[in-house]
């Protein structure tokens, strides 16, 4: 899937190059001025932040709140460096206005993620050990697969996992919710637990390219200033190909007796 994604990305990049987008970008950047000491200082801050992020994730188990704070600190430091270097058009008021404008662009993202979280809370939360509407729905969704052929049941597991990822974009949370149901259900349907895990991995992983409840996806789109609907129209065709490939892998795993 990594190779398939890389090939799709390469194909799109080559199509953009043939259409002249890359040439126009080169022409646009041809007149840039030489880098100054403040530019090098900002790049040093960027490099230091990357090291800080890697250390935090690997040594301190940093996640989204900590990562957000790190990137906020990086942006603040870059702004202060630009202001202290007296770069043209940069002042404290300009920096504050830029922050306000950026926060305004992120507001729709925050609302979508908050509404998704609110929906999960209304359904009872993601604790698999507590009685809730969400756990009841998952139970009945899983047992609706009973009596089906193994190949069809495995494919529907992929479909169910992909749908659940909209409500629970966290991979660990989705695994805790669904696998206690899907794994023993697979035993009853003749689907090995390895295939059930494969359906979970593909259902959880690929749909993260699309679901608007993914804080990671929406944060990246917000930083790139790409509207989610624009992104959805772009990625949906590629995602359809990837899901077709995922379906083939899941069904093929059943046929070859993957266990």
Q: According to the model, what pLDDT value does residue 244 have?
A: 93
pLDDT bracket for residue 63 (50, 70, 90): confident
Taking the C-alpha atoms of residue 78 and residue 48, their distance in angstroms, rounded to an integer, is 12
Q: Which of 78-87, 134-143, 176-185 has the lowest mean pLDDT?
A: 134-143
Mean pLDDT of the chain: 82
Instruction: Quickly list DSSP for 45-60.
Output: HHHHHHHHHHHHHHHS
Q: Is residue 191 a contact partner of residue 254, using CB atoms and an 8 Å limit?
A: yes
Express each pLDDT in 64-113 by its tens digit: 789 889 988 998 999 899 888 877 778 888 888 888 887 777 777 677 76
* Helix (H/G/I), strand (E/B), else coil: 63: coil
Query: 4 vs 141, which has greater pLDDT?
Result: 4
Contact 191, 201 (CB under 8 A): no
pLDDT confidence of 136, banded at 50, 70, 90?
A: confident
Q: How far apart are CA 158 and CA 246, in angstroms?
A: 8
pLDDT score of 22: 54
Count of residues in the chain: 259
Residue 81 CB coordination number (10 Å): 19
Give CA–CA dist 209/8, Å, rounded: 14
CB of 204 within 8 A of CB of 168? no
pTM here is 0.64
Of the candidates 168, 177, 186, 188, the residue with the CA atom closest to the CA atom of residue 138? 177
Rounded-to-integer distance, Cα 107 and Cα 60, Å: 29
Question: What are the C-alpha distances in Å from 254 to residues 47, 142, 146, 149, 154?
Answer: 46, 18, 16, 10, 8
Q: What percent of the chain is modeled with pLDDT above 70?
A: 90
Q: Which tens digits make up the pLDDT trace of 15-48?
A: 877 776 554 555 555 455 677 888 899 999 999 9
DSSP 8-state code for residue 123: T
Token representation of residue 216: 């990671």
CA dihedral 159, 164, 170, 175 (to 10 degrees): -70
Handedness of CA 42, 47, 48, 54 (dihedral sign): positive
Q: According to the model, what pLDDT value does residue 31 have?
A: 54
pLDDT exceeds cutoff 90 at 118: no
Q: How far apart are CA 50 and CA 57, in angstroms?
A: 11
């Amino acid at each position: 899937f990594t190779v398939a994604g890389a090939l799709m990305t390469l194909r799109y990049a080559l199509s953009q190059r043939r259409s002249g987008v890359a040439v126009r970008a080169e022409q646009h950047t041809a007149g840039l001025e030489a880098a100054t000491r403040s530019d090098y200082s900002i790049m040093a801050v960027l490099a230091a932040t990357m090291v800080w992020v890697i250390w935090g994730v690997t040594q301190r188990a940093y996640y989204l709140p900590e990562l957000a704070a790190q990137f906020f600190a990086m942006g603040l430091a870059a702004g202060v460096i630009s202001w202290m270097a007296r770069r043209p058009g940069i002042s404290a008021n300009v920096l504050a206005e830029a922050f306000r404008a950026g926060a305004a662009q992120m507001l729709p993202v925050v609302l979508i993620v908050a509404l998704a979280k609110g929906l999960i809370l209304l359904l009872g939360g993601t604790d698999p050990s507590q009685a809730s509407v969400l756990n009841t729905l998952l139970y009945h969704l899983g047992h609706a697969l009973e009596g089906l052929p193994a190949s069809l049941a495995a494919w529907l597991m992929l479909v169910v996992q992909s749908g659940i990822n909209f409500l629970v974009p966290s991979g660990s949370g989705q695994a805790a919710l669904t696998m206690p149901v899907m794994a023993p259900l697979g035993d009853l349907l003749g689907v090995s637990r390895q295939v059930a895990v494969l359906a979970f991995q593909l259902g959880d992983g690929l749909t993260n390219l699309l679901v608007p409840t993914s804080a990671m996806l929406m944060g990246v789109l917000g930083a790139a200033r790409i509207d989610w609907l624009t992104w959805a129209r772009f990625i949906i065709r590629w995602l359809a190909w990837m899901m077709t490939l995922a379906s083939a892998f899941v069904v093929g795993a059943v046929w070859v007796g993957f266990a």
